[in-house]
Amino acid sequence: MDFQVVVLAGGTSKKLVPLVSKEVPKALLPVANRPVLSYVLELLEHSNLKDLIVVVEGQDAALRVGGWISGAYVDRLHVEVAAVPEDVGTAGALRAIAHHLTANDILVVSGDLVCDVSPGAVAAAHRRHGAAVTAMLCSVPVSGPLESGSSSGKDKTKKPGCCNIIGLDPTKQFLLYIATGPEIERDIRVQKSILRAVGQMEIRADLMDAHLYAFKRAVLQEVLDQKDAFQSLQQDVLPYLVRSQLRSELSLNGAPHTEENGHDKVVPGINQVMLSQLLAKTSTPSFHELYAMGPNGSAPVRRTHKCCVYIASQDKYCARLNSIQAFSDINRDVIGEASHLSGYSFSAQNNIIHPSAELGSKTTVGQNCMLGEGSQLGDKCSVKRSVIGRHCRIGSNVKVVNSVVMNHVTISDGCSIQGSVICSNAQLQERVVLKDCQVGAGFVVTSGSEYKGEFLAKKER
């Protein structure tokens, strides 16, 4: 196998604080009652990639993730779980496991990716151009609950923080510019040399870096070795490679050239030139090659490397679980519009109710809902577009809309929950009204309280 796969599963992300905990690292957050990591693993398994390296931040988290993987995929995947210290960043994580990487190309996948784009497509684009790095871009997912107009407007304004500004060449195959994270706020700076070489650049803000990269191993390792300060793949390594694509400092990029020349010395020099001309004229060269050619069209004078992109088509689903908003969005989508990802079979009412779940009289479970194993609902409840985990006990007259309720949650009578996430073992006493709240694991919400847009978690954490 000439592709090696690294899944960066992360640790306990700070962004998701009330949801994740020591017990539940990010990778194990439930999406439609399955850990989010399972979506990536199954995507890879579907592509026949069965030798994986899963990198987890933190020893405890690694143990938990490893335990879960070995339980769930024992006979299907060959997974190596590696633990790296916390807060080393994605680049640091790769640096830590660099000695494990042997294949020519490395596929780096973020463990929080929920998508149905075949990684093979990225690999094919990577292979076709012989690129140093190929990134997958997808359109920015729709965020916020579909129903309530006011909150979606609010979320949209929150959203642009996580998307990218991306510059593409006219053929939409090469990455010319990428701004991520805090850089988006600043001015866009594009090198003249790139613009001059390409001629035209398309700048898009509607695309998102999906954190699925194919790297040339040699390139990746060299960058990681040389640039100790690089912490993040997305914010440091990728922009660096994109910036330097026309004045490549990678010595390895030159290596294949010398190697080739070594072999071609059999051929008289003049024929070599002729041959390269022969090939250059009939193939459509990318701007990299044109630029490297130099003015007289002879042997390459400048070193370049290619940064390619694969843009997933609009009809594919692709989202990253990197914020609380994204968590509820993905939960909604996986049992809603992207239901093929969940791997469950839907009932005629377009919802999933586990056979062991018990419903009281006059209780309705609407479309795009999911009821986990052993959950009990009292009378006159109403559940819409929500996921309810395993062994939850929900009293009578409870409304659950656009929410995620994890496992072993107790919700007493008369509660109303909207747009919220309630973590495992939480307890909601009678007549609690929650809107856009996150309730941490094991938290007890006292009866009659009303909250709107708040984090509710135990103090000690």
Residues of this chain that bind other proteins (CB under 8 A): 1-3, 47-49, 104-105, 118-121, 123-125, 127-128, 130, 263-264, 266-267, 271, 274-275, 278-279, 281-284
For residues 310 and 125, is the Cβ–Cβ distance under 8 A? yes
Burial 369-384 (b: 16+ CB within 10 A, else e): bbbbebbebbebbbbb
For residues 329 and 144, is the Cβ–Cβ distance under 8 A? yes
* Nearest-approach distance from CB 2 to other proteins, in angstroms: 5
160 or 268, CB closer to other proteins?
268
268 or 448, CB closer to other proteins?
268
DSSP 172: S
Number of neighbouring beta carbons within 10 Å of residue 346: 16
- Mind giving me the DSSP string for 54-96? EEEESHHHHHHHHHHHHHHSTTT-EEEEEEE-TT-HHHHHHHH
Show the tokens assigned to 54: 């899963």
* Nearest-approach distance from CB 140 to other proteins, in angstroms: 22
1 or 146, CB closer to other proteins?
1
* Nearest-approach distance from CB 46 to other proteins, in angstroms: 9
Query: At 431, which amino acid appears?
Result: R
* Nearest-approach distance from CB 180 to other proteins, in angstroms: 26
286 or 397, CB closer to other proteins?
286
Q: Which neighbouring-strand residues pair with 418?
A: 401, 435
| Alpha-carbon span 111 to 44, nearest angstrom | 11
* Nearest-approach distance from CB 173 to other proteins, in angstroms: 9
205 or 255, CB closer to other proteins?
255
Query: At 319, which amino acid appears?
Result: A
Among residues 403, 412, 397, 398, which one has the least CA distance to residue 444?
Answer: 412
DSSP 233: I
> Helices 59-72 and 36-46, interaxial angle, to 10°?
50
266 or 348, CB closer to other proteins?
266
* Nearest-approach distance from CB 122 to other proteins, in angstroms: 8
Among residues 309, 293, 286, which one has the least CA distance to residue 199?
Answer: 286
- Mind giving me the DSSP string for 148-210? -HHHHHHHHHHGGGG--EEEE-TTS-BEEEEE-GGGGGS-----HHHHHHHS--EEESSEEEE
76 or 128, CB closer to other proteins?
128
* Nearest-approach distance from CB 403 to other proteins, in angstroms: 35
* Nearest-approach distance from CB 127 to other proteins, in angstroms: 5
* Nearest-approach distance from CB 166 to other proteins, in angstroms: 21
75 or 315, CB closer to other proteins?
315
197 or 422, CB closer to other proteins?
197
Query: In degrees rounded to 5, what are phi and psi of residue 110?
Result: -80, 140
* Nearest-approach distance from CB 280 to other proteins, in angstroms: 9
| Alpha-carbon span 277 to 298, nearest angstrom | 8
For residues 384 and 350, is the Cβ–Cβ distance under 8 A? no
Cβ within 8 Å of residue 371, ≥6 positions away:
351, 352, 353, 354, 357, 365, 377, 383, 388
188 or 267, CB closer to other proteins?
267
